[in-house]
Amino acid sequence: MDDLPVSFAVIGTGLIGPRHAAAIIRTPTSRLACLVDPNPAAKAIATELGVPLFPSIAEMLTSSIKPQAAIICTPNHTHVSISKMLLDAGISVLCEKPIATDIAGAMDILSHVKHSKAKFAVGHHRRFNRYVRATKAALPSLGRIIAVSGLWTICKPADYFEGVGEWRKDGSNGGPILINLVHDVDMLQYLLGPIIRVTAEETIKQRDFDAEEGAAVLLRFQSGCVGTFVVSDAVPSPHNFESGTGENPNIPPTGMDFYRFFGTEASLSVPDMKRWSYDGKEKTWLEELKEEALSVGDSKIPFELQVEQFVKVVKGLEEPTCSGEDAVRALMVVEAVKKSIQEGVGVDIPCC
């Protein structure tokens, strides 16, 4: 019985849903059972994938098709209610980030998880990216990490905010801090440990939306490491995770760096994976630095690796790579970034 593929529903067929559906189809241990989306445009996607389409979760639950797991790919403000509905029905949930739009909602989900036999994880899929894995393996060779510098800077098109994407204009639901920076916060905490203090300034607005367009953020980690991060979705720039790694097939790859780590023994830029050190010589600016390119290797698409891992979670073989608690920690940081912008002060974040 354990050898049978785990059946999945994909909830939402916007930008990210079809990519998750494709990952499920390409994974031998999983099976795409159905799609759920009230949008008429979803009919064409369901037909192309050859699976049933339901206009609501309620209709799916009353049908003969009850999947073992579901991936939630809906607007941020719906994550709480949909997660709870699925968990209450005994369906394991892989929820796209962010886990919720506020801490209260996130804790509501975690409360449901405790009282459910179903499993729960959050789709911070970058943890499966080959560049992230190579970076995590390389960090100990840098010595103690003193500082980090990061960028997520890109220009989103006008139609990203129109039609079914109208919600992205909303200040409490959209904006690159909650939609995009939360990914990088999860990455940095995954690599460097908890962030315990942030100070942030908002970037100049060019659009007539309630949602912010970006920010410059000062970070302090529990380890003592400090960092800077600039996020913007309204500037022409090659410096962002998607362009740098080529992970998103819809965004042209550039290979340009988006993270730089500075340690007591060496520094590292990502994703070119160039490590700079004095190679055992005296550490002085008078000496020539040695440059070496670290190996990254090949791997499957992160979405596929995430599905593979979540299948094991559903079967009780592994714990989630990104737990609900991990996602709450990332949400706490981005909430603190927004608070810092609004109040003009540094904001401390409890480490536990």
Residue range 214-254, pLDDT digits in tens: 999 999 999 999 999 999 999 999 999 999 999 998 999 99
Mean pLDDT of 114-127: 95
Q: Distances from the Cα of 1 to the Cαs of 5, 31, 65, in angstroms?
A: 9, 14, 18
- What contacts 177, CB < 8 A, 6 or more positions away? 212, 215, 231, 334, 337, 338
Q: Which sequence spans correspond to the domains of the chain?
A: 6-126+302-321, 130-300+332-348
Looking at residues 87-104, what average pLDDT do you find?
Answer: 95
- Architecture category of domain 6-126+302-321 in CATH: 3-Layer(aba) Sandwich (3.40)
Among the listed residues 75, 1, 69, the one whose alpha carbon sits nearest the alpha carbon of residue 34 = 69
Instruction: Give 72 or 163, the one with higher predicted confidence.
Output: 72
Task: Tell me the residue type at 57.
Answer: I
Long-range CB contacts (< 8 A, 24+ apart) of 278-282?
none
User: What's the pLDDT at 298?
Assistant: 87
Confidence (pLDDT) at 352: 61
pLDDT at residue 297, as a whole number: 87
Instruction: Evaluate if residue 296 carries a pLDDT over 90.
Output: yes
Q: What is the mean pLDDT of residues 59-84?
A: 96
Three-state secondary-structure class, residue 291: strand
Q: Closest Cα to residue 175, out of 132, 207, 138, 140?
A: 207
Is the pLDDT reported for residue 1 higher than 60?
no
Spatial distance between the Cα atoms of 134 and 225, rounded to a whole number of angstroms: 20
To which residue do tokens 């000496």 refer? 287
> Whole-prediction pTM value?
0.92
User: Is the pLDDT score of 153 beyond 90?
Assistant: yes
For residues 185-210, average pLDDT: 97
Query: Mean of the pLDDT values across residues 321-343?
Result: 96
pLDDT recorded at residue 323: 95
Helices 182-192, 130-138: inter-axial angle, 10-degree rounding: 30
Please report the pLDDT score of residue 258 as a whole number: 98
Q: What angle (nearest 5°) sits at the alpha carbon of residue 307, between those of residues 303 and 313?
A: 140
Pick among 3.30.1330.10, 1.20.1250.20, 3.20.20.60, 3.30.360.10: CATH of 130-300+332-348: 3.30.360.10
Kindly indicate the confidence band of residue 173, based on its pLDDT and cuts at 50, 70 and 90.
Answer: confident
Q: Residue 309 half-sphere exposure, CB side, CA atoms within 13 Å?
A: 21
pLDDT, mean of residues 305-324:
96
